[in-house]
Amino acid sequence: MDDRIRVYEEKMQKTKEHLKNDLAQIRAGRANPHVLDKITVDYYGTPTPLQGVGNITIPEARVIQIAPWDKNMLKAVEKAILASDVGITPTNDGKMIRLVFPELTEERRKELSKEVKKKGEEAKVAVRNIRRDGVDYIKKLKGSEVSEDEVADLEDELQKTTDGYISEIDKIVDEKTKDVMTV
């Protein structure tokens, strides 16, 4: 790949990774520890990621267990989960906290599927905008040190890269949609 358009390819890669992270936050009726990624706990005055205060395990398909290393942190962890947008009420047994994910209704699955597709479309729009910026940059090179043939080659290479990322995004969205719709 030409160094002049590598920057745009890297931006497309970041867009794809951002989409993957966004979709990991969407729960599909099964326990997924990534729904806890954005939760921070007040650990003796310091906001600490939930993963930094205890063990997170998945003993069953729809249950996440959080066992804080310091039992005094149980209330703080419970409070942080309640304050978050996870949408699940934690149960505290004095030793650990359990999050039980309810089975999703058909209607909720369809809503989540639409949300997944929307996020996929947003990612594709972002990739296309990156391509547009790249094409603008390439066109500015035209008269200076680059011939028209080179400009056409660079635009073609950028288009092929864009098409590759668009198809990867489609695959990611299809997989997540299938995951969400599976009962």
pLDDT above 70 (res 77): yes
Architecture of domain 33-100: 2-Layer Sandwich (3.30)
pLDDT digits (tens, 9 = 90+) for 108-150: 888 889 999 999 999 999 999 999 999 998 888 877 777 888 8
Average of per-residue pLDDT across 159-169: 94
pLDDT at 43: 82
Indicate the pTM of the whole model. Answer: 0.71
- Rounded to 10 deg, the angle between the 106-141 and 3-24 helix axes is 170
pLDDT above 80 (res 12): yes
pLDDT digits (tens, 9 = 90+) for 16-75: 999 998 888 776 667 777 778 888 888 888 888 888 888 888 888 888 898 988 888 888
Architecture of domain 3-25+105-181: Orthogonal Bundle (1.10)
Pair of tokens at residue 50: 């939930």
pLDDT above 90 (res 79): no
Q: Would you place residue 161 in the very low, low, confident or very high pLDDT band (cuts 50, 70, 90)?
A: very high
Q: Where are the domains of the chain?
A: 3-25+105-181, 33-100
CA 45 to chain centre: 29
Same fold for the pair 3-25+105-181 and 33-100: no
Three-state SS at 55: strand
pLDDT digits (tens, 9 = 90+) for 172-182: 999 999 888 87
Q: Which residue is it, tokens 């996870």?
A: 86
pLDDT above 70 (res 1): no
